[in-house]
């Protein structure tokens, strides 16, 4: 059986800069994997490359065995990569309900209704805010909208780019508490996270990224006790 | 009674202005293209309508859909071949680049209009009588053109806010990355927006010539009119722009009566300067 998502030798960058220097990574079916790394390690670039917002210069990106590297980004979304980008990228003047509709337009109507029900069950507060403009929501609610929008595309793999940014720890935990339910629905998760403890608490397995390369990997439990992880962060 | 008459005329004129401005609003607000060829498209479509009605004797209203379709197709081609490559290469300077490109394009269109239709002001004689209601008189042409234009603007508004394809367009304008995360083909959405914007500008042109004489050099005045309305109403704000258009129509109608035709003509320029001094942030895109 092939992994939900597998990358091998992925090289990518912006303009003249090469940021990802040959990244290998695997996310199993139903697995929650975290990519840890300091600011500037290349986590966002990695997620943007998987989502197709940046075209890889070399290497392979497979979604359930199917090569998706180099496809247009909107096709990659449709192929089953849900992306919760850094900065959330909501539509400030559209309502919460519009966000769900726009995310769901890639699915058949019956599936859309199912997804909508399950998303609103996961984030009940959004059900009360359906008519409200996204720009007027609190940070935590905006993060929920971004996740809900991505889930409405019926993804096989959900990419979460530092969902903890700017949120109170209590709200971050409530976001992470949705992972078991997603896993049950067959959604695999790739989380990029700066905070070691937060990231390791939420994941099955972890990679540590530094200067565009994966320098360590292992189960969350292994890495939690590995002092090399902290050393990478401190640049030692 | 006079006040009411001026008000009615102003509102009808405003209905036409809504379309003149809203088509630019779509292109500028959604795509970040500062389309200085907007006025030239309106003028060219107006002159086409003059030629069309003179040749066929048909109603100028028949020219509206023809102008819309032809301009939308030309707009789609122009967007793909000219505007989009420039916008993509421009990065953070793309709005400035689009301004330069469309400025050049406007000269080409104006020159084309001069070659095809000459430099004279022409008008289309259409419904030259009035309906009267009590002591109020409504110029039939103004009523029909104003109502038709306002109706098309209303359709644009309904499309944008109440259909998935319209919302996809708004989404792509507010966050292209977010739109891609929804599986929206942003490149296709941008072509559609540009084509519809140019098409609506041409439709406005076919209606403008029914109520005022048009020549190729009218392009500059029409540009200014549209930009003033957008500055007043708020870029990307469709309701605000509609209100601003009607207010400008009323202001022009009142100024024209009390201060004469020159004042009416100068009013948009004065308003533009006033807006730029008083509200310098007005040309920023609404986010």
Q: Is the pLDDT of residue A17 over 70?
A: yes
* Closest CB from B167, B178, B236 relative to A90: B178
More confident residue, A79 or B3: A79
Residue A25 is predicted with a pLDDT of 94
Contacts of A123 (CB under 8 A, 6+ apart): A144, A147, A148, A178
* B151-194 tens-digit pLDDT: 888 898 899 889 998 999 989 888 889 999 999 998 899 899 89
Tokens of A177: 């508490």
The predicted complex's ipTM stands at 0.89
CA-to-CA separations, B176 to A103, A136, B36, B182, B264, in angstroms, rounded: 13, 20, 23, 10, 40
Asked if B196 contacts B26 with a C-beta cutoff of 8 angstroms, the reply is yes
Contact A91 B185 (CB under 8 A): no
Asked if B181 reaches chain A (Cβ–Cβ under 8 Å), the answer is: yes
Asked if B178 reaches chain A (Cβ–Cβ under 8 Å), the answer is: yes
Among residues B175, B192, B168, the alpha carbon closest in space to that of A104 is found at: B168
Strand partners, B46: none
Asked if B179 reaches chain A (Cβ–Cβ under 8 Å), the answer is: yes
Asked if A65 reaches chain B (Cβ–Cβ under 8 Å), the answer is: no
Contact B182 A72 (CB under 8 A): no
Place of tokens 């190729």: B216
Asked if A49 reaches chain B (Cβ–Cβ under 8 Å), the answer is: no
What distance in Å separates the CA atoms of residue A93 and residue A101, rounded to the nearest whole number? 14
Top residue of A15, A88, A91 to mutate, by most chain B CBs within 10 Å, is A91
Top residue of A50, A72, A102 to mutate, by most chain B CBs within 10 Å, is A102
CA angle B265, B271, B272 (to 5 degrees): 105
Contact B178 A149 (CB under 8 A): yes
CA-to-CA separations, B186 to A53, A73, A202, B87, B94, in angstroms, rounded: 12, 10, 34, 13, 17
Contact B168 A85 (CB under 8 A): no
A1 — pLDDT class (breaks 50, 70, 90): low
For residue B182, list chain A residues with Cβ-Cβ distance below 8 A.
77, 102-103, 105-106, 149, 152-153
Residue B93 is predicted with a pLDDT of 77
Residue B286 is predicted with a pLDDT of 46
- Per-residue pLDDT of chain B in tens (287 residues, 90 and over written 9): 777 787 888 888 888 888 888 888 888 877 778 888 899 999 999 999 999 988 888 888 888 899 999 999 999 998 888 887 887 776 777 778 888 888 888 999 998 988 888 888 888 787 777 787 777 777 788 888 888 888 888 898 899 889 998 999 989 888 889 999 999 998 899 899 899 999 999 999 999 888 888 888 888 888 888 888 888 887 777 888 888 888 888 888 888 778 877 777 788 778 778 877 877 665 554 44
Asked if A105 contacts B167 with a C-beta cutoff of 8 angstroms, the reply is no
Domains and CATH numbers, chain A: 1-80+157-236 (3.40.50.300), 89-154 (no CATH)
* A115-154 tens-digit pLDDT: 999 999 989 999 999 999 999 998 889 999 999 999 999 9
Q: At what angle do helices B238-259 and B218-233 cross, to 10 degrees?
A: 120
Asked if B24 reaches chain A (Cβ–Cβ under 8 Å), the answer is: no
CATH number, residue B263 = 1.10.3470
Contact B184 A102 (CB under 8 A): yes
Mean of pLDDT values over A43-61? 93
Specify the number of domains making up chain B: 1
Categorise residue B91: left if φ over 0, alpha if ψ from -120 to 50, beta otherwise: left
* A155-171 tens-digit pLDDT: 999 999 998 887 888 88
CA-to-CA separations, B179 to B121, B137, B168, B281, in angstroms, rounded: 45, 49, 7, 26
Asked if A180 reaches chain B (Cβ–Cβ under 8 Å), the answer is: no
Top residue of B180, B187, B188, B189 to mutate, by most chain A CBs within 10 Å, is B180
For residue B160, list chain A residues with Cβ-Cβ distance below 8 A.
none
Q: What are phi and psi of A156, to 5 degrees?
A: -90, -35
Residue A229 is predicted with a pLDDT of 78
Q: At what angle do helices B164-174 and B186-211 cross, to 10 degrees?
A: 100
Residue A53 is predicted with a pLDDT of 93
Q: Is the pLDDT of residue A3 over 80?
A: yes
What distance in Å separates the CA atoms of residue B167 and residue A93, rounded to the nearest whole number? 11
- Range of the structural domain that residue B143 is part of: 2-283
Q: Is the dihedral of CA B44, B187, A162, A42 positive or negative?
A: negative
Contacts of B97 (CB under 8 A, 6+ apart): B86, B87, B89, B90
Q: Is the pLDDT of residue A79 over 50?
A: yes
What distance in Å separates the CA atoms of residue A1 and residue A7, rounded to the nearest whole number? 16
Q: On the CB side of A51, how many CA atoms lie within 13 Å of its CA? A: 27
Q: Is the dihedral of CA A171, A39, A23, B88 positive or negative?
A: positive
Contact A89 B170 (CB under 8 A): no
Contacts of A3 (CB under 8 A, 6+ apart): A26, A27, A28, A29, A62, A64
Q: How many CB atoms lie within 10 A of CB A97?
A: 15
* A85-100 tens-digit pLDDT: 988 999 998 999 999 9
134-153 of A, contacting B, C-beta below 8 A: 135, 149-150, 152-153
Q: Is the pLDDT of residue A236 over 60?
A: no
Asked if A89 reaches chain B (Cβ–Cβ under 8 Å), the answer is: yes
Contacts of B183 (CB under 8 A, 6+ apart): A74, A75, A77, A78, A103, A105, A106, A153
Mean of pLDDT values over A204-226? 88
Q: Order of strands, edge to edge, in the sheet holding A188-193?
A: A81-84, A157-161, A188-193, A32-36, A205-210, A213-219
Residue B68 is predicted with a pLDDT of 93
Asked if B186 reaches chain A (Cβ–Cβ under 8 Å), the answer is: yes
Residue B70 is predicted with a pLDDT of 94
């Amino acid at each position: 059986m092939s992994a939900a998502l597998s990358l091998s030798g992925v090289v990518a960058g912006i303009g003249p800069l090469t940021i990802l220097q040959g990244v290998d990574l695997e996310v199993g079916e139903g697995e929650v994997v975290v990519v840890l790394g300091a600011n500037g390690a290349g986590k966002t670039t990695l997620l943007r490359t998987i989502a197709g917002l940046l075209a890889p210069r070399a290497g392979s990106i497979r979604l359930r065995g199917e090569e998706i590297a180099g496809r247009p980004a909107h096709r990659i979304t449709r192929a089953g990569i849900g992306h919760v980008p850094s900065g959330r990228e909501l539509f400030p003047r559209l309502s919460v309900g519009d966000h769900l509709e726009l995310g769901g337009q890639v699915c058949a109507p019956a599936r859309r209704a199912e997804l909508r029900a399950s998303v609103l069950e996961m984030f009940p507060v959004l059900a009360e805010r359906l008519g409200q403009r996204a720009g007027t929501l609190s940070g935590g609610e905006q993060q929920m909208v971004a996740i809900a929008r991505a889930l409405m595309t019926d993804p096989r793999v959900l990419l979460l780019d530092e969902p903890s940014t700017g949120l109170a720890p209590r709200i971050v935990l409530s976001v992470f508490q949705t992972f078991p339910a997603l896993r049950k629905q067959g959604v695999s998760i790739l989380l990029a996270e700066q905070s070691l403890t937060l990231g390791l608490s939420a994941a099955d397995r972890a990679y540590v990224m530094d200067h565009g390369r994966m320098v360590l990997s292992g189960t969350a439990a292994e890495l939690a006790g590995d002092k090399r992880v902290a050393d990478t962060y401190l640049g030692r | 009674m006079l006040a009411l008459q001026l008000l009615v005329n102003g509102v009808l004129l405003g209905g036409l202005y809504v379309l003149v401005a809203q088509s630019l609003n779509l292109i500028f607000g959604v795509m970040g293209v500062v389309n200085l060829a907007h006025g030239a498209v309106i003028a060219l479509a107006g002159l086409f309508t003059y030629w069309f009605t003179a040749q066929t004797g048909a109603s100028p209203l028949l020219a509206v859909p023809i102008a819309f379709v032809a301009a939308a197709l030309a707009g789609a081609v122009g967007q793909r071949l000219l505007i989009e490559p420039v916008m993509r290469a421009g990065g953070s300077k793309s709005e400035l680049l689009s301004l330069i490109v469309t400025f050049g394009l406007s000269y080409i269109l104006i020159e084309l209009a001069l070659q095809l239709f000459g430099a004279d002001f022409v008008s289309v004689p259409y419904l030259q009588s009035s309906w009267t209601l009590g002591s109020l008189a409504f110029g039939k042409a103004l009523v029909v053109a104003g109502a038709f234009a306002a109706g098309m603007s209303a359709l644009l508004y309904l499309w944008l806010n109440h259909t998935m394809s319209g919302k996809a367009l708004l989404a792509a304008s507010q966050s292209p990355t977010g739109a891609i995360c929804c599986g929206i083909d942003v490149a296709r959405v941008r072509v559609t927006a540009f084509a519809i914007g140019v098409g609506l500008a041409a439709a406005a042109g076919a209606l403008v010539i029914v109520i005022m004489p048009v020549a190729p050099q009218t392009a500059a005045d029409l540009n200014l009119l549209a930009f003033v309305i957008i500055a007043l109403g708020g870029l990307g704000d469709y309701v605000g722009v509609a209100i601003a258009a009607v207010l400008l129509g009323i202001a022009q109608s009142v100024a024209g009566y009390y201060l004469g035709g020159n004042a009416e003509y100068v009013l948009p320029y004065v308003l533009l300067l006033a807006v730029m001094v008083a509200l310098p942030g007005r040309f920023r895109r609404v986010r």
